[in-house]
Amino acid sequence: MIRNNLWLFHLFLLLGSSCLQKAEATVLSGTITESATWTESMNPIEISGDVSLVENAKITVSPGVQIQFTDSTKLTIEGEFETQNQKGKSVSILGDTTSGALGLIEVSGAESTVHLSGCRIDGVDVRVIDRGACSVEGCWVRNSSCAFLFNGARMAEVRRTVVSNSGCAIRSIDTTPIVEGCRFENIRGEAVSIEGQGVELPSPSAVRIRGPKRMVAGKTVTLWVEVLDSEGNLFWPLWEAVGSVSARQAVSGQSVP
């Protein structure tokens, strides 16, 4: 009887020890050439060394997946990258929590598209350049140098997203962004800046900031807009006036209450 109890005790210790062990990371580096689905069974997915997703390849990220950048590594998207959202199981995209180094998601090229839905992004910047496309919906972003940088993007949409404790929330260059229903908190620089030359705005409402009272929380945040035509002249009108926000206030860099 005692021998059986001792055997059961050792078995219990063995099983308990295995349960407490940290899940082995799925380490990624180099070039991804084929479409794939990242699932929770791969957690954590570690971006170790720069990773590139080629054109015509698609990565689908399932709910509950944790993506961890190490050091200042970069994930370059030239194909399609999509996160799936499920209530209570968000996708986490995290910078290097040990060193504090920022990770980078770079969306580049006319064939590149990123859809971020319901993500928790901490310590990672998103940069969309060279005709890349990006849509963001219902995400929570913090501790970035600039949460979203759009430079020559063919699509830039940020909706129902919170950005906090960051250098800037959205910087748009030579791009017409759509920003709706967002909230920005503790932003050290401009919450939203729009600038560029030769930017084509198809209508006065092409650039939109909706709900300024909900968008700005905690303190005054500066909205700055400077859009020039191909001859360097100020393009007018550029801003859809909503509440107390006017185009002229935005252009002059006045603070919005």
DSSP3 helix / strand / coil % (the chain, rounded to 5): 10, 45, 40
Query: Would you tell me how many other CB atoms lie within 10 Å of the CB of residue 100?
Result: 9
233 belongs to a structural domain: no
- Which helix or strand (DSSP H or E) is residue 3 part of? helix 2-20
| Assigned domain for 234 exists | no
* Domain assignment of residue 71, yes or no: yes
- The residue range of the domain holding 151 is 22-168+175-188+204-216
Q: Work out the number of other CB atoms within 10 angstroms of the CB of residue 248.
A: 12
Classify residue 136: in a domain, yes or no: yes
Asked, for residue 119, whether it belongs to a domain, the answer is yes
Within-domain flag for 139: yes
Condensed to tens digits (0 to 9), the pLDDT of residues 21-47 reads 556 899 999 999 999 999 999 999 999
State residue 226's pLDDT score: 45
Residue 208, in any domain of the structure: yes
pLDDT tens digits for range 75-104: 999 999 999 999 889 999 999 877 878 999
| pLDDT tens sequence across 158-205 | 988 888 899 988 988 888 788 877 787 888 877 777 776 545 544 433
| pLDDT tens, residue by residue, 217-230 | 333 334 444 444 44
Q: Determine the pLDDT at residue 257.
A: 34
Give the neighbor-by-neighbor strand order of the sheet with 80-83: 36-38, 58-61, 80-83, 113-117, 133-137, 155-159, 178-180, 208-209
Q: Please check whether residue 195 lies inside any domain of the structure.
A: no
Q: Which of these, 41, 2, 5, lies nearest to 23 by C-alpha position?
A: 41
Number of structural domains the chain divides into: 1
Residues 6+ apart with CB under 8 A from 74: 47, 50, 51, 103, 104, 105, 106
pTM (2 d.p.):
0.75
Average pLDDT for 139-166: 93
